[in-house]
Amino acid sequence: MDRIQKLIAQAGICSRRKAEEYIKEGRVKLNGRPVGLGDKADPNKDIITVDGERVYFQKKKSFRYIMLNKPRGYVTSMSDELDRRVVTDLLEGVNERVYPVGRLDRNTEGLLLFTNDGNFANDIMHPSRHVSKTYRVTVRPDINDEQLVALSEGVVIDGKKTAPATVIVLEKQQGRVVLQITIHEGRNRQVRKMCEAVGLEVARLKRTSVGPLKLGMLQPGDWRDLKPDELRAIRTAITKKQDKQ
């Protein structure tokens, strides 16, 4: 709800001061009744007229850019015909209809973006932009140098070799190894298939960053809006990639 003189000014009819004069002169009506100076209205519901002419309000489109720490067990979808839990169930308090940017498998955790800005979503997902994605991957049982080299140089999945990836061994324990893998493509189940292609079993897969965006301390199941500097950074990353084409 906003003061009526403010709404009239926002709609571009006249200045706020002029609108106050019109109100005092009885020329402004709210749902058919003359209004007073302090009266408020909801531009989405109420009808305001000036001299009998309806004032139209352009809905301000507010884009949202959200980061979720997706837990395992949630499907990346707006709804699921099998009635499984979907990621949008976790976006409590978000009133805009936001969509996931790309997808994570049901059993993959970590950074998933949502937005209602279609251009932004397309830019991030478009293969030509090569936005990097980093994963923390727990594999079993162990990894040898040949497997490491193959993962980083590229392996054939679905009949096509993957682009070079950056692979770092973060931890080595009995029966399991934690890797950090950064890829620049976004093929279907890419990391799992890459690991399977070299004979590794993926025990856990978590996306920790998308371009310059980092999951940080965001807890599983929690979401937050991107900060202005994060939005600037990801936009810059996309633009730079575009310039290189």
Catalytic annotation, residues:
105
Nearer to ligand URA, 167 or 191 (CB): 191
Query: Measured at the alpha carbon of residue 85, what is the angle toward residues 95 and 118, in degrees to the nearest 5?
Result: 45
Q: Are 42 and 1 in contact (CB under 8 A)?
A: yes
Pick from 72, 176, 184, 189 the residue near ligand URA by CB under 6 A: 189
| Least Cβ distance, residue 92 to ligand URA (angstroms) | 23
203's tokens: 């025990």
191 binds ligand URA (CB under 6 A): yes
Q: Are 241 and 129 in contact (CB under 8 A)?
A: yes
Nearer to ligand URA, 29 or 192 (CB): 192
Pick from 3, 70, 129, 192 the residue near ligand URA by CB under 6 A: 192
Q: Are 78 and 122 in contact (CB under 8 A)?
A: no
| Least Cβ distance, residue 110 to ligand URA (angstroms) | 8
How many whole angstroms separate alpha carbon 198 and alpha carbon 232? Answer: 38
How many whole angstroms separate alpha carbon 92 and alpha carbon 101? Answer: 18
209 binds ligand URA (CB under 6 A): no
Kindly determine how many residues on this chain lie close enough to bind ligand URA according to the rule CB under 6 A.
8
**Percent helix, strand and coil across the chain, each rounded to 5?**
25, 30, 40
CA distances from 31 to 43, 48, 52, 130, 197 (A): 11, 6, 11, 53, 67
| Least Cβ distance, residue 152 to ligand URA (angstroms) | 16
| Least Cβ distance, residue 52 to ligand URA (angstroms) | 58
105 binds ligand URA (CB under 6 A): yes
Nearer to ligand URA, 13 or 197 (CB): 197
Nearer to ligand URA, 46 or 185 (CB): 185
Place of tokens 């399977």: 196
Residue 205 β-bridge partners: 108, 137
Pick from 88, 108, 134, 209 the residue near ligand URA by CB under 6 A: 108
Pick from 90, 104, 139, 210 the residue near ligand URA by CB under 6 A: 104
Q: Which residues bind ligand URA (CB under 6 A)?
A: 104-105, 108, 189-192, 205
